[in-house]
Structure 1
Amino acid sequence: MRTSNPFSNREVREVLEGCRQGLKNEIDGFDKNYILNVSLHDLAEHLISKYKLDVPILQEDQKQVISEGEVVREIPDYGEIRQVKMQSITMAIPFIGDPNLFGIRPSSFYSSWWLLDKPWVTNYTYHLQRQMANTKL
């Protein structure tokens, strides 16, 4: 089970550059006779299936609230620790697509992960993975 914060692994430009470079290297590695004799349709299908990104699509109409309640979090505040009451909601949202893409960070973003801790992230990924396992692609 993944325990890192969502959208915090590799940046999207790194992922896209990796796909672009992999595609270029594969095409550059083809023998000239192979290119002349292969079905362009079959070759295109192969390359698309290998290098496309299967972006997750949330099925928001099927979301379920697993639990909700009030929690108290300790938040660092200028050298002191403050206890802050927060609303905690754990949801399961089914989706189709590649769950690994939830780890990709957008090119520009605002991060407030200080509100999150590992148990929240673990619950988040557990429910996403459990729903993914039950979703047929």
Structure 2
Amino acid sequence: MYTGLQHLHSGLAYLVLLALIIIVIYALLGSLSNRQFTDKDRKIALIGFILSHLQLTVGLILYFVSPLGFEMLKSGSAMSDPAVRLTAVEHPLVNIIAIVLITIGYSKAKKGSIPRARFRSIYMMYAIGLVLLLSRIPWVTWLG
């Protein structure tokens, strides 16, 4: 089960990153072209919203069944080793913050009335969330 969750979490990460990149560019172009914010635009942003929340859910499950997640935090050794700290503390905390920002961006765009502001809330909040996600990916283990 643990290995399957690791593969799902890693594979979903590629989809989330790709979706967020595409959505940020799409929303930026929508804002710059001054076009109307349509239901199609909202649904495109919803794809990134859903994928990021699905990734968060899988990540949280993995965090509690992994020997590198919550167990390392409980043992007290997480803060002294940078690699363990990344996995046990920084990766989950920063990624939760990123998902919160993506959620705020989607919610503001969904409730907004000015098209340009709706696009702006998506591309700004999703872009900040994307940068945060990219900053806390354990690149050594993910690509290595």
Which structure is higher in helix share? 2
Question: Which has the greater radius of gyration?
Answer: 1
Return the TM-score normalized by structure 2. 0.30
Which structure is higher in strand share? 1
